[in-house]
Structure 1
Amino acid sequence: MELGFIGLGTMGAPMVLNLLKAGHRVRVWNRSSAPLEALITAGAEAVDTPALAAQAEVLISMLGDDTAIRSVFLDSGALEGLQAGSVHINMSTVSVALARELSALHESRGVDYVSAPVLGRVDVAAAGNLNILASGPAEALARVQPLFDVLGRKTWHFGEAADVACAAKLSANLMVASAIESLAEASTLAGGYGISRAAFIDMITSTLFPVPVYQGYGKQMADDTFEPAGFKLSLGLKDVRLVLEAGEAAQVPLPFASVLKDNLLDGMAHGQADQDWASLSRVSDRRAGVK
């Protein structure tokens, strides 16, 4: 299949490699040139503008936030590059409002828009084991399923409305952030009674919570090692803000999300923006006077 791919960050680059290994032709564009050399060596074709990348049977985008997507698609011409009859798969985590807006803009150009945010970090992306949350026109979803089969272990379908998959992803990220916060606070409490964070996390992730979210982030907290980040704290703050916006639009109170936003802001204020969001444990420790 002839593909375009926009956004070659920590998630996008390994996804392109998997598509190339599966035999697809991939035209790539990125705002910075750093990731391009390795992808060109692997067989990708680099182009000079987003519009050129968009001139494909299927375009995939994996950008950081709403602002980046607006810049690339509405200001830099990617939307105009899409041809009638093509499909755009947006795998970024974006606001439900932007998903609705983009869906309408694509429809007006005769282009199918598919929302497909993912669950998984860079190692999962590299292994092709992402969980893909997808919504969009049924025919378009069927058309791109072979690509999802390359990129992920399972595709979870959430109907035809573009914003629904976004809502599912934001709901999932709310739970991940809440798990990180609860583990941070609980391990700080245990530390107040002389229990090492490592010992407490080993116990809790081997008994009540033997699940990847607690185990993976718990190891980072136990080791007090948050760089390089699998998911930056600044991106966590972005997602929690999107969660709160989605809650307000649907008239769903989200008190945990408000607490998370303030704690993530605390981390930002203390220079943790580029650390993994597991560094919420440092916020909890500071508040307890530990560090």
Structure 2
Amino acid sequence: MQIGFIGLGNLGTPIAENLLGTHQLYVYNRTATKAQPLVDKGAILCESVKELATMCDVVFSIVSDDAALKNITEGPDGIAAHLKRGGVHISMSTILPATATALEALHHQHHNYYISSPILGRPEAARARKLNMLVSGNAEEVDRIKPLLSDAGGTAIWEFGEEVTGAPAAKLCSNYLILSGVAAMAEGIHLAKQSGIDAAMWMNMLTQTIFGAPVYINYSAALLKENYLPAGFGLKLALKDANLVLQQSVATGSNMPVGKTVQGLLEQAVAAGFGEHDVTAVAEVVKK
């Protein structure tokens, strides 16, 4: 199969590098210079989305938001119109379930497939091939692309049904717990310091006992270091995800008072100039 990859950001680049290790890879990025390290390793650079889609049986995309995904997928020069007949577009972006539904319908019109496969994991997890891949969509096509998800760095593949909305919904719920966890840890660490106890020792106790999960272990370490650059999960993107979570809560009639509070903290952090910093920079708002 000819494999394409669109979106060479902090997370996309190491995933594309994983695929390049086992496949001939066609790449496109809006800022072409970001593709050069992959080209140096053997990837073929395409000058447009249309050119890449025309060449490929499978196209991976991981772009910043719903609008960016629609931009590369829709229209006369988009993925859907030019992907090979029976080809598969694997979307790894964090988006609204409704967007996935619309894009699946568009691909169906062009006789190809859209599969939702958002990711749980930071860039370092991608480089270590320890990503969790959430996936949903046509069962036969999901089975066909599973080996590619493993090649992309997936240590585990979690299936959420044949509706393309399943994996995006699971990803939003997951990111909500991450964001609320980071905010709560930032507050807890600040409270511990203000109370005169060793915050690092306290978090070490928690992460070795009742909070021994990667989110708490990794994010608490980052919060304690107070080193917010370079961003693994950018604060501006975190706010985008929080906004999507609350949009989905409205669409489903789900009340999320804690979610609104977390959204407000992220908004304050972006307004304070931390948009390009790591999400853990929300701690700077908590301190004030």
Task: Give the whole-Å Cα distance in 1 for the aligned partners of 2:78 and 2:98.
Answer: 21
1:166 aligned onto 2:165: no
Distance 2:30 2:81 in 1: 18
Shift, 1:34, TM fit: 2.4
Task: Give 1:88-237 correspondences, 5 Å limit.
Answer: 88-151=89-152, 152-237=154-239
CA deviations over 1:164-207 (Å, ceiling 9, x no partner): 10000000001111111111111111122122433332332233
CA distance in 2: counterparts of 1:19 and 1:66, whole angstroms: 24
Partner of residue 269 from structure 2, selected from 254, 257, 267? 267
Per-residue Cα deviation, 1:147-168 (whole angstroms, up to 9, x for no partner): 0121201110111111110000
Separation of aligned partners in 2, 1:32 and 1:163 = 30
Secondary structure of the residue aligned to 1:195 is coil
Counterpart secondary structure, 2:155: strand
Q: In 2, Cα distance between the equivalents of 1:189 and 1:14?
A: 37
State yes or no: 1:41 paired with 2:43: no
Equivalent residue number for residue 289 of structure 1: none
Task: Give the Cα separation in 2 of the matches to 1:136 and 1:70.
Answer: 18
2:73 touches 2:103 (CA, 8 Å); kept in 1? no
Q: How many residues are matched?
A: 285
- Structure 2 counterparts to residues 55-74 of structure 1, below 5 A: 55=54, 56-74=56-74
Deviating 4+ runs (over 3 angstroms): none
Q: Does 1:280 align with 2:279?
A: no
Give the CA deviation at 1:210.
Answer: 1.9
Work out the percentage of aligned pairs sharing the same amino acid: 36
AA in 2 matched with 1:13: T
Shift of 1:79: 2.5
Structure 1 stretches lacking a partner, 5+ long: 287-291
Does structure 1 retain, via aligned residues, the 8 Å contact 2:50–2:78? yes
TM-score norm. by structure 1 comes to 0.94
CA distance in 2 between counterparts of 1:256 and 1:193 reads 24
Query: After the TM superposition, which of the residue ranges 8-17 and 204-213 deviates more from structure 2?
Result: 204-213
CA–CA separation in structure 2 for the residues paired with 1:141 and 1:62: 17
Gap runs ≥5 in structure 2: none
1:7 has 2:7 as partner: yes
Q: Distance between the aligned counterparts of 1:65 and 1:258, measured in 2?
A: 20
How much has 1:90 moved relative to structure 2?
Answer: 0.4
